[in-house]
Amino acid sequence: MTLVLEAAVLGVLTGGVYALMASGLTLIFGVMRIINVGHGALVVLGAYLSFAASRSLGLDPFATLVITMPVMFLLGVLLQTVFIRPLKTDREALSVLVTYAIALGIEGLLGYFFTANYRQLHAWYDTASFPVGDFRVTYVYLFGFVLCLAILGAMFLFLYRTTFGASIRATMLNRTAAQLIGIDVDRVAAVAFGIGMATAAAGGVVFGITNAFNPGSHYDLISRLLTIIVLGGLGSLRGAVIAALIMLVSEDITSVVISPVWASFTFFVILIAVLIVRPQGLYGVRVRERL
Amino acid sequence: MRRRLISASVAALGLTLAACGGSTTPTAPAAPITIGVSISQSGDFSGDGAALKQGYDLWADDINAKGGLQGHKVTMKYVDDASSTQQVVTNYQNLITVDKVALVFGPFSSLLTIPASTVVDRYGYAFPEPAGGGPQVFNRGLKSIFFVQPAAVEDNLVSYTKWLLSLPSGQKPASVAYATQDDPFTQPQVDKAKSLLEAAGVKTAYYHVYPAETTDFTPIALQVANSKADAVILGTQLPDAVAFAKTFIQQHFNPKTIIETTGPDQGSQFSDKLGANTEGIMVPAGWTPAATAYGNNKFVSEFIAKYGGKAADISADAAEAYSVGQVVDQAAAKAGSIDNAKLIATLHTGTYNTVQGPMSFDATGKPQGGVGVYIEQWQGGNAIFVYPSTVASAQPEYPKKSWQ
């Protein structure tokens, strides 16, 4: 029983990290209606930037976010302006190709500069833990979870308490209508892509402390992030958070109760069951197609 | 017409005499050749792929410095397989049919070697390979594959089980926890160790197989820790080898002995993630920088000169790749040719010296000779042989010290 409880706690804590990574992906989809299959590569890029900053400046991995999040935000604005904005027709399909190309480009550059060797971020808390009842909670997962709460909280405040946030939400609801009422949707899209990349940097630092990573680590990540936002409902931040928690808690409990072999399968059973009942995902909006 | 015939005959005679002229007559150098390899430069095996490339490149430098492979200057051609079982097949197909390379060497892992060896065999090429030793490599009736390591993979943990069972009864572990990837390299050796230990009466406290694509190892590591086993045997690659150790440290779980199938043999790639906590962790290994095997001193010094670092940083993968070149060099010298059919026939006979020790191959390409795989343990920041005593440079540290 203790083990199940421990797995559930671990699932919640790591689920928070996945929620942070997936929030950027679902925000980008919500605003631009593009599927950013390069998002996993952006998380890995964030991990490498923190690794480089940590090594060269001697900073704590979390402290490197002061540098990496603004850098990734600006890079996101640049990538959106150069590669995504020119897509005027068939945006959803073409965006998959363009963002996949971006992912391969990032992977190649990281391989060139950092080699294919596995790296990992270090801090005093990556192996430290404290007792809670009969089990131990690791500081790094707790810190990562607190970071996720802080960033997701800030993102919700930005979206729901600022005028620009309202512009983003309006664009997510109806891009054409937002344009008609005078919102500069291109600017909104560039900022949203930048925010998505900044959250990827934040997710990347926790990913980089808890996992050995190399330039190819993004393939496993993106498949998990995409399934999270499909379960949560494409474009829904709240959905991404809930789905990430469901994924990690169900997988971790299945892993300890039944077998690691069935962990992913269990999540997909939940995913399919939800999609049968709610094809738009947990918090997705049903879109009426044109006849 | 007759004059032309006479001239041609004289010229032909001259050429023949020149060819038979022995050492006093200069001979034309043999044509340069290309050796093709599919290397994992991205994906799960990219770290191992990079080390393999280092070993192959170093051997190519050495063979060219001494005049080439049977006089043929060697150029290595690498193509990235992204750790994909589909891409590795395409790569060898292209290397043989499009690039028309003279020889091919193997990729990393049994997972990639198995599909690659089928296509290589189809074209009649010899396939000496450094890292594909799972049972399925040898049970498909192929005659062209040669696994250049001291023992077949399933026997990798036999030395370790012998050592465990040789411990005095008061110290022998009462229970063992096993966890392994469902990989053709890792699982067979863990399963064999389990069957040997169970047969000797050692209780299994936990056994689980997890998918190779698993990214979050913590729940599995928690279960291993929860089993409170005296000994832990893990079928890992580098990322999970590190992840398991870190979770054990977090959970304050310190078994008497831990062995991991891969990871601790990766030199600095392993130690720079665990620091002083590498102490006491074991790995089955056929090679260490300190081994006195054929050409090993030269290999280690040349490796450091070419790539920098120190001896402890060298990955066993690089030594295994270098050994492939050594075996092919000796086989080509014995056959007097680099023809693939002759190499295949030659490699099935005789013994070949490598930096991992001497080895020979049976009809299926499985290494023979009973050299076996030794136990390496991290002690004081270096991975050293600790068992058997014939090769050990220190006593095994048992029980392992506490985490730091």
A145 or B11, higher pLDDT? A145
| Residue B98 sits in the same domain as residue B241 | no
| Residue B174 sits in the same domain as residue B195 | yes
For B336-342, the CB contacts below 8 A with 24+ separation are B336/B70, B337/B70, B338/B33, B338/B69, B338/B70, B338/B72, B338/B102, B338/B103, B340/B103, B340/B124, B340/B125, B340/B126, B340/B144, B341/B124
| Residue B62 sits in the same domain as residue B127 | yes
ipTM given for this complex: 0.87
Mean of the pLDDT values across residues B113-118? 95
Selecting from A211, A256, A259 the residue whose C-beta is nearest the C-beta of B222 gives A256
| Residue B98 sits in the same domain as residue B163 | no
Domain annotation covers residue B395: no
* Residue B11: band (very low, low, confident or very high) from pLDDT cuts 50, 70, 90: very low
pTM of the entire predicted model:
0.81
Sequence spans of domains, chain A: 2-277
Low-confidence ranges of chain A (pLDDT < 50): 290-291
**Span of B8-17, B320-329, B363-372 with lowest mean pLDDT:** B8-17
Chain segment B271-323, per-residue pLDDT in tens: 999 999 999 999 998 888 887 788 999 999 999 999 998 888 888 899 999 99
pLDDT value at B267 more than 70: yes
**Count of structural domains within chain B:** 2
Selected for mutation to probe chain A from B218, B228, B268 (highest A CB count within 10 Å) is: B218
pLDDT value at B9 more than 70: no
Give yes or no for B210 touching A (CB within 8 A). yes
| Residue B165 sits in the same domain as residue B59 | no
pLDDT at B355: 93
Spell out the alpha helix ranges (H) of B258-372. 268-274, 296-307, 316-335, 340-347
Q: Do the Cβ atoms of B214 and A128 come within 8 Å?
A: no
Check which CATH number belongs to the domain holding B141 and give it: 3.40.50.2300
Domain annotation covers residue B38: yes
| Residue B363 sits in the same domain as residue B377 | no
pLDDT value at B22 more than 80: no
Chain segment B51-89, per-residue pLDDT in tens: 999 999 999 999 999 999 999 999 999 999 988 999 999
Selecting from B182, B219, B246 the residue whose C-beta is nearest the C-beta of A126 gives B246
Percent of chain B residues past pLDDT 70, beyond the cut: 92
**Two tokens, residue B399:** 């029980």
pLDDT at A288: 55
| Residue B45 sits in the same domain as residue B134 | yes
| Residue B238 sits in the same domain as residue B383 | yes
Domain annotation covers residue B400: no
| Residue B337 sits in the same domain as residue B378 | no
| Residue B46 sits in the same domain as residue B111 | yes
pLDDT at A291: 46
Domain annotation covers residue B21: no
pLDDT at B28: 58
Q: Do the Cβ atoms of A260 and B50 come within 8 Å?
A: no
In angstroms, what CA-CA distances link B63 with A143, A183, B66, B73, B300?
53, 68, 5, 8, 16
Beta strands in A203-270 (DSSP E): none
pLDDT value at B381 more than 70: yes
Selecting from B208, B250, B277 the residue whose C-beta is nearest the C-beta of A129 gives B250
Q: Give residue B241's domain range.
A: 155-287+373-387
CATH number (2.40.50, 1.10.3470, 3.10.110, 1.10.150) of A2-277 reads 1.10.3470
Domain annotation covers residue B134: yes
Selecting from B222, B275, B277 the residue whose C-beta is nearest the C-beta of A6 gives B222
Dihedral (CA of B387, B388, B389, B393) sign: negative
* Residue B217: band (very low, low, confident or very high) from pLDDT cuts 50, 70, 90: very high
| Residue B283 sits in the same domain as residue B194 | yes
CB contacts of B243 in chain A (<8 Å) are 211-212
Domain annotation covers residue B1: no
**Two tokens, residue A175:** 């891009």
pLDDT at B4: 52
- Kindly report the average pLDDT of chain B as a whole number: 89
| Residue B282 sits in the same domain as residue B183 | yes
Q: Do the Cβ atoms of A10 and B182 come within 8 Å?
A: no
Domain annotation covers residue B296: yes
